[in-house]
Amino acid sequence: MGAGHRTWAPRPRVAAAAGAHPGLRHPACRHDALRLPPASGRPGSGRRPLALRGVARDLCGARRVRGLESGPRPSQRGADGDARPPGCIHQPHRDPLLLPDRADRAWTGPPGTDAACGRPPPAGRRAAAGAAGAGSTGSDGLRRLARHADGEPRQPGHRVSAEVGAARTDWERATDEVVEYLRALIRIPSVNPPDGGPVLAAGRDPRGGETAAARYCAEILSGAGISAEVLESEPGRGSCFARLSATVPDPQPPLVLLSHLDVVPVEADPWSRDPFGGELVEGVVWGRGAVDMKDMVAMELGVMLALAREGGERSRDVIFAAVADEEAGGLFGARHWVERRPDVFRGRDGRPAAAALNEVGGYSTTVGSRRVYTIQVAEKGIIWTRLTATGTTGHGSMPHPDNAAVKLAAAVARLAAEAHPARLTRVVRDFLDALGLDGVAEAAKRGDEERLRAELERATADPVLRRSLDAMLRDTVTPTVIRVGQKMNVIPGFGQAEVDVRTLPDTDQLALLEHLTGVAGSDVRVEAVLTLPPITWPADAEIVQLMVAALGRADPDGEPAPMMITPGTDAKALALLGIPTYGFAPLRLDPDVPFLSLFHGHDERVPVSALRFGLPVLHEVVRGFVSA
């Protein structure tokens, strides 16, 4: 471990995630699976699936795979930090999270109506979707007027329970479960790269972390009667797949609930709390992955369990896919499984999924008096670029011009200084309009860089939001890594730099790479190590209409808006199968929450109130899209 790094004492519950798993020495490119059958009897009674207590059979013939202890069990504390009875997962007809099919006591209106809105509940999904298409907000589910246990008023449109056929889910308790899933997942140091050592994971050993996180998800799902499997692209690089099958004889293409289990490394010193402690402090969950993106993993687990408990008819399979390696391009995660096992993203008839829900979108951002909920329908392209410089070694006391460090530094400086003009795409124009930033859009359209900077300064005091908006308007070239030299008194003969290039949807990526090669100069070699195209999906699709309707019911004062994100996600991998992938991890955030700066940042954290808002909204969208 390098000097100056704080070492956090690992907690006993992390032990299952730490260290390599020597029993998982699978042949390369073999898709060995730990299959977890649905639990029999009374799930959650303290018995774990046999596969998680010791071995998994039928892997590579009769070989037994060892070292697959289960991940940490959910904590026995509620989302507010108070002690609670052990949280069990029960059969649907006996589950305390399901409320009886009767009028809720919080209702003050007549039977059959929503007391908060005075409207009758919709007859079914088709009616709700039709209402969304017509621009109506509708009313789906119950709205309680009660306050939270901590005395805080419930957010507008927050639903304690949502009516689904003969069963309704208690979202207060369901959120408590999701919070515990999130905390347990944070305690698993699934850092990418996993071979970077404890220095990248606050003193933990990250090897096998992705598989440990995948096993944890599989345990939760199998405990609720949902068959799940853990697939590894390489030892320790595990992904979890599960499926709730459609209940109709001729189902429509599935819906994928997509997420990733890996997290970026941490620098422990600047953190206020243990990056892998999963601490719950004053209604906020802290730790690496709290926003990117173990919160969405936990919410999608909650949605899967709610669907299984509620029952009802489903016209589509619902596929849970929590994958490895998103933070490094997905070559050992989504991209691997799309190329080698596309069936995990397809229906029983072989058709690819109709849509997928993924990270980044769905959160609220406040500009002035406007609270806008982002619905991610596009993302920029990627050209991860490497620069290589060579020179002649020598003693540092006798300088000469053939210095690899000097060549590399000059090339990097030229690339960083190169200007890239603003261009206004349709999705970004619509997003700026929703934020009320017409001046920004007009300046970008005219190519007036000075006015554009002034308009962005006037638009928001948040520097991270300004940078994000500016990056939506242009191609960006960002040097991120420089490696050159080995000793203070030795002139280096070799060095490399890495540059993160992001492109707008209408950018010719090959032409841009050629241009950057010319800017860097002849003293360095420029090569693309990973190129992924930009993607854009229809903003008027049925599932987007369901998002708009659900957000409108949950927060009538908010405004949903389509958005293009500047990072890349596993949506690019699913695009190879033609699966439209939308970013929708709904969170209602207070204006002072520095949400964008928490992605890959220090002190990553998420408010429990945001999860409490988002879980029923996500469930409503999924339920609406898959109900028969």
Q: Where are the beta strands (DSSP E) in 340-380?
A: 355-358, 364-367, 370-379
Alpha helices in 209-367 (DSSP H): 209-223, 294-310, 334-340
Predicted confidence (pLDDT) per residue in 268-286, tens digit: 999 999 999 999 999 999 9
Pairing of strands 252-260, 355-358: parallel
- Predicted confidence at residue 595, as pLDDT, reads 83
- pTM here is 0.75
Higher pLDDT, residue 525 or 51: 525
The answer on pLDDT for 481 being more than 50 is yes
- Predicted confidence at residue 42, as pLDDT, reads 34
Contact 178, 611 (CB under 8 A): yes
Tell the burial category of 110 from Cβ atoms under 10 Å away from its Cβ (0-12, 13-18, 19+).
Answer: exposed
Rounded distance, CA 219 to CA 301, Å? 11
Closest CA to 210 of 344, 73, 57, 18: 18
- Predicted confidence at residue 36, as pLDDT, reads 52
Rounded distance, CA 96 to CA 387, Å? 59
Higher pLDDT, residue 192 or 32: 192
Structure token digits, residue 194: 């996993």
What is the mean predicted confidence (pLDDT) over 145-165? 39
- Predicted confidence at residue 4, as pLDDT, reads 37
Collapse the DSSP code of 269 into the 3-class scheme (helix H, G, I; strand E, B; otherwise coil) and give the result.
coil
Q: According to the 3-state scheme, what is the secondary structure of 213-234? A: HHHHHHHHHHHCCCCEEEEECC
Sequence-ordered list of residues with C-beta below 8 angstroms from that of 417, at least 6 positions apart, any chain: none
Residue 415 region, left (φ>0) first, then alpha (ψ -120 to 50), else beta? alpha
Tell the burial category of 107 from Cβ atoms under 10 Å away from its Cβ (0-12, 13-18, 19+).
Answer: middle
Rounded distance, CA 585 to CA 359, Å? 6
Predicted confidence (pLDDT) per residue in 45-64, tens digit: 333 332 333 323 332 332 22
Task: For the chain, give the percent of residues with pLDDT over 70.
Answer: 73
Strand partners, 320: 242, 257
* Segment (H or E) for 172: helix 171-186
- 294-310 helix and 608-626 helix, angle to the nearest 10 degrees: 50
Closest CA to 236 of 201, 210, 260, 217: 210
- Predicted confidence at residue 38, as pLDDT, reads 55
Q: CB atoms < 10 A from the CB of 109, how many?
A: 14
Predicted confidence (pLDDT) per residue in 182-217, tens digit: 999 999 999 999 999 999 999 999 999 999 999 999
Contact 407, 389 (CB under 8 A): yes
- Predicted confidence at residue 303, as pLDDT, reads 98
Residue with tokens 């949950």: 554
Predicted confidence (pLDDT) per residue in 333-376, tens digit: 999 999 999 999 999 999 999 999 999 899 999 988 899 999 99
- 404-417 helix and 509-520 helix, angle to the nearest 10 degrees: 130
Predicted confidence (pLDDT) per residue in 491-514, tens digit: 999 999 999 999 999 999 999 999
Q: Counting runs of H as helices and runs of E as strands, what totals does the chain give?
A: 16, 25
Taking every pair of C-alpha atoms in the chain, what is the biggest distance, in angstroms? 90
Rounded distance, CA 313 to CA 380, Å? 37
What is the mean predicted confidence (pLDDT) over 120-124? 36
Structure token digits, residue 338: 């799309």
Strand partners, 34: 230
Rounded distance, CA 255 to CA 261, Å? 19
Least confident of 55-64, 89-98, 313-322, 351-360: 55-64
Closest CA to 220 of 92, 86, 48: 48
Local confidence band at 97 (pLDDT 50, 70, 90 cut-offs): low
Rounded distance, CA 178 to CA 431, Å? 31
Rounded distance, CA 73 to CA 86, Å? 11
What is the mean predicted confidence (pLDDT) over 102-113? 31
**Angle 150-156-159 from CA coordinates, rounded to 5°:** 75
Contact 230, 34 (CB under 8 A): yes
Pairing of strands 316-323, 252-260: parallel
Closest CA to 9 of 262, 155, 198, 291: 198
At 314, the amino acid letter reads R
Predicted confidence (pLDDT) per residue in 392-413, tens digit: 999 999 999 999 999 999 999 9
How many CA atoms within 13 Å lie on the side-chain side of 159? 26
Rounded distance, CA 29 to CA 232, Å? 9
Mean pLDDT of the chain: 80
Could you give all domains of the chain from N- to C-terminal order, each with its CATH number? 32-81+170-376+536-626 (3.40.630.10), 380-534 (3.30.70.360)
- Predicted confidence at residue 496, as pLDDT, reads 98
Rounded distance, CA 71 to CA 18, Å? 10
Collapse the DSSP code of 405 into the 3-class scheme (helix H, G, I; strand E, B; otherwise coil) and give the result.
helix
CA dihedral 210, 171, 166, 553 (to 10 degrees): -110
Task: For the chain, give the percent of residues with pLDDT over 90.
Answer: 68
Local confidence band at 597 (pLDDT 50, 70, 90 cut-offs): confident
Contact 104, 161 (CB under 8 A): yes
How many CA atoms within 13 Å lie on the side-chain side of 86? 7
Pairing of strands 476-484, 381-390: unpaired
Least confident of 99-108, 331-340, 455-464: 99-108
